[in-house]
Amino acid sequence: MNTRCKAWLERKLARIRELDSYNEEQTNVRIAKKYGLQPTEILKLNGNENLFLPKEKAASLLKEVADECDLRIYPQEEEYLLKEALGGYLQVSKDCIAIGNSSDEVMDRIIRIFLGKGDSAVTFTPTFSVFGFCVKYYEAYVVHVSLNEDFTLDMRAMRSAFDPQTKLLYLCSPNNPTANQVKLEEIVSLIETFPGMVLVDEAYAEYADFSAVSLTKEYENLVVLRTFSKAFGLAGLRLGYAVANPRLAQVIDKLPIPYPINAVSLSMGRKLLENMDLVAKSIEELKAERTRLINNLNALKGLKAFESKTNFVLFKTDTSSESIYDSLLQKGIVVKNLGRLLQHQNCLRSTVGTSNMNSRLLNSLKIYSGGAA
């Protein structure tokens, strides 16, 4: 390798190494090995997954898919059939849907389309960190606008962040990690005043009070992201989609690579839409358990849980969140240690597990916090 090529390569590699990226936490097997536990003893409550959709039911549907799919050939009608099913589910035309390998991948695709080097994107903070990672990867900039202390939008500050270089506005609603939902009238107001594309991330929409999907029929600069990883329980298969007006959806769907989503993921998405009663039951069970978890967390000394429109609960403690995180980990319970969020110190986030799972979490926290308030 000549000197010029070597220098160029080093600059490229150094830039990528310096970028932030999503850091996957330790696996159940590694945690079990570290603390002398069995992998089956590990209670994974840090990924916001749907633990209410029965594993056996999902496995049964997957077996049906395996029988129907010919894995020797490239995907055929699977994407078309999934778009039709999604159109019925969301009450939009199938032409309004673009499908990808998770909503994160579709988000990355949208960033790549609408942001160039030197452009800027606006979002609030705290929010889903992957958006910022992707923006910086394409040599664009992120302007972060702090939420109010109660996690609501500071509308004046949001609008003041818009400038001629701002091409993309990202609104995670319901928001991760704060678990609250942006008001629909605020979303409409921002769509109408923002000078570029508005991206509303609705990964947790099935657990919330409303959706912005219907607004895509009226606003040409709106894209709504959705996923099969949360309410539909397909986190392991990586399947997501965007909803937008047909012209925009067609652009988002246009990729230079052939067959970007595998036939199994596409077919499993359709299968679950055809078994919506199963999904709906898991959503209602989770919402009921979410209320119980929040109430019981608030009944413990030194803990405060925030309201949630998602499948996770954010709570803060009077003592070190790091200490509580480590204490739970030693017992095989994995939550997310977030530390400080705005003015709120010692924050942790837990997936809403089943009743038995949450009771195990609550009992461990009760011992650590000293009992009921």
**Residue 183 maps to which CATH number?**
3.40.640.10
Distance CA 177, CA 313 (A): 9
CB proximity list for 360: less than 8 A, separation 6 or greater: 43, 333
Tell me if 16 is assigned to some domain. no
Q: Are residues 213 and 73 in the same domain?
A: yes
Is residue 20 over pLDDT 90? no
Q: Are residues 172 and 312 in the same domain?
A: no
Q: Are residues 61 and 203 in the same domain?
A: yes
Alpha helices in 224-351 (DSSP H): 246-253, 263-274, 276-298, 321-330
> Is there a contact between 201 and 134 (Cβ–Cβ < 8 Å)?
no
pLDDT band at 369 (very low <50, low <70, confident <90, very high): low
Q: What is the pTM of this model?
A: 0.94
Q: How far is CA 140 from the centre of its chain?
A: 22
Which of these three, 240, 274, 308, is where a domain ends?
274
Strand partners, 341: 344
Q: Are residues 161 and 269 in the same domain?
A: yes
Tell me if 180 is assigned to some domain. yes
Tell me if 1 is assigned to some domain. no
What are the tens digits of pLDDT across the range 320-360?
999 999 999 999 999 999 999 999 999 999 999 999 999 99
**What rounded mean pLDDT belongs to the chain?**
94
For tokens 């994107």, name the residue. 121
User: How many domains, the chain?
Assistant: 2
**Residue 363 maps to which CATH number?**
3.90.1150.10
Q: Are residues 31 and 62 in the same domain?
A: no
What are the tens digits of pLDDT across the range 189-242?
999 999 999 999 999 999 999 999 999 999 999 999 999 999 999 999 999 999
Is residue 127 over pLDDT 80? yes
pLDDT for the residue 372: 63
Alpha helices in 299-354 (DSSP H): 321-330
pLDDT for the residue 23: 72
Q: Are residues 118 and 74 in the same domain?
A: yes
Tell me if 362 is assigned to some domain. yes
Mean pLDDT over 28-56 rounds to 93
Distance CA 269, CA 233 (A): 10
Mean pLDDT over 151-155 rounds to 97
Q: Say what percent of the chain tops pLDDT 70.
A: 98
> Is there a contact between 52 and 285 (Cβ–Cβ < 8 Å)?
yes
Q: Are residues 230 and 283 in the same domain?
A: no
Distance CA 160, CA 145 (A): 9
Is residue 367 over pLDDT 90? no
What are the tens digits of pLDDT across the range 255-297?
888 899 999 999 999 999 999 999 999 999 999 999 999 999 9
Mean pLDDT over 91-103 rounds to 97
Q: Are residues 174 and 219 in the same domain?
A: yes
DSSP 265-287: HHHHHHHHHHTHHHHHHHHHHHH
pLDDT for the residue 215: 98
Tell me if 15 is assigned to some domain. no
Tell me if 5 is assigned to some domain. no
Tell me if 2 is assigned to some domain. no
Is residue 373 over pLDDT 60? no
Which of these three, 232, 255, 274, is where a domain ends?
274
Q: Are residues 111 and 215 in the same domain?
A: yes
Tell me if 18 is assigned to some domain. no
Strand partners, 123: 144, 170
Among 4-18, 238-252, 279-293, the minimum mean pLDDT is found in: 4-18
Residue 176 DSSP one-character state: T
Mean pLDDT over 246-253 rounds to 96
> Residue 358 is part of which domain span?
23-52+278-369
Q: Are residues 43 and 180 in the same domain?
A: no
Angle, CA of 284, 51 and 236, to the nearest 5°: 125
Mean pLDDT over 302-328 rounds to 97
Which of these three, 215, 239, 274, is where a domain ends?
274
